């Protein structure tokens, strides 16, 4: 079992995802954490970016998805992100956590979020 992980925490973007009119109109800030499981042994020795995953490219892809097409559910948003990262980067497993930091919902206390973990088939 591979234990190497590349992590990227708190990638933020503003989006208008949600079911309610307020969520679609006002929008909210979102935060995404990702964990990519892959072999980092070569990068640890070579100090060469070509032997690892460029976390800047991962962050840009997350923001691109998050600010692109509007979705109703953060589960769907997380699904779009996890599938894109698995498809576009050489990770064997990807975990994505999405949190809606500023939901415009009356009476909500706390930060809603979801976590999806998917493996390459």
Active site members: 100
As a whole number of angstroms, the distance between CA 100 and CA 104 comes to 10
- pLDDT for the residue numbered 23: 86
In terms of Cα–Cα distance, which of 88, 85, 101, 75 is closest to 35? Answer: 85
CATH number, domain with residue 90? 3.30.1130.10
The range of the structural domain enclosing residue 71 comes to: 5-119
Domain count, the chain: 1
Across the 121 residues of the chain, what is the mean pLDDT of every consecutive 10-residue run? 88 94 90 97 96 97 97 97 97 97 78 95 80
């Amino acid at each position: 079992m591979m234990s190497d992980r590349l992590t990227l925490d708190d990638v933020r973007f503003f989006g208008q995802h949600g079911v309610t009119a307020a969520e679609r109109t006002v929008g909210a800030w979102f935060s995404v954490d990702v964990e990519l499981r892959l072999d980092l042994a070569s990068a640890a020795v070579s100090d060469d970016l070509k032997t690892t995953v460029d976390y800047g490219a991962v962050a840009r892809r997350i923001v691109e998805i998050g600010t692109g097409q509007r979705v109703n559910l953060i589960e769907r948003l997380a699904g779009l992100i996890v599938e894109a990262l698995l498809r576009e980067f050489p990770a064997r497993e990807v975990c994505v956590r999405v949190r809606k930091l500023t939901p415009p919902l009356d009476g909500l206390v706390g930060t809603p979020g979801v976590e999806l973990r998917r493996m390459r088939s």
